[in-house]
């Protein structure tokens, strides 16, 4: 597995773990990079790719706010 692929998988896991611990959390890709992952050694592009894949998998919800900003968080649970 290449370095970028390892970084991508690790980032997806960290985002998923964060949302398990903080199910009401929601932030922009930049906020997730800075605060959830605390910057670290992961490139912002890896974070964005991880979020795209997690959205496609239904693990993360992508919401466009009225001002056009995009935030990511746990998908809402329907009873």
Do the domain assignments include residue 52? yes
The two three-digit tokens of residue 22, written as one number: 């903080």
The two three-digit tokens of residue 40, written as one number: 């670290």
Distance of alpha carbon 61 from alpha carbon 51, whole angstroms? 9
Q: Which value, to the nearest 10 degrees, does the dihedral of the CA atoms of residues 26, 36, 70, 54 take? A: -90
Residues ≥6 apart with Cβ < 8 Å to 27: 35, 36, 71, 72, 73
Do the domain assignments include residue 78? no
Q: Which pLDDT value is given to residue 2?
A: 77
- Mean pLDDT for the stretch of residues 57-71: 97
CATH number at residue 59: 1.10.10.10
Give the residue with greater pLDDT, 3 vs 68: 68
Q: Which pLDDT value is given to residue 39?
A: 73
Angle at CA 55, nearest 5°, toward 16 and 49? 85
Q: What's the pLDDT band for 79 if we cut at 50, 70, 90?
A: very low
pLDDT in tens, 15-54: 999 999 999 999 999 999 999 998 778 899 999 999 999 9
- pTM, to two decimals: 0.90
Do the domain assignments include residue 55? yes
What is the domain count for the chain? 1
Range of the domain at 14: 3-73
């Amino acid at each position: 597995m290449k370095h970028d692929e390892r970084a991508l998988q690790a980032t997806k896991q960290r985002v998923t773990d964060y949302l398990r611990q903080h199910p009401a959390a929601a932030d922009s890709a930049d906020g997730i990079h800075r605060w959830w992952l605390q910057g670290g050694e992961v490139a912002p592009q890896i974070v964005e790719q991880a979020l795209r894949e997690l959205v496609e998998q239904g693990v993360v919800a992508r919401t466009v706010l009225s001002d056009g900003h995009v935030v990511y968080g746990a998908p809402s649970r329907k009873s």
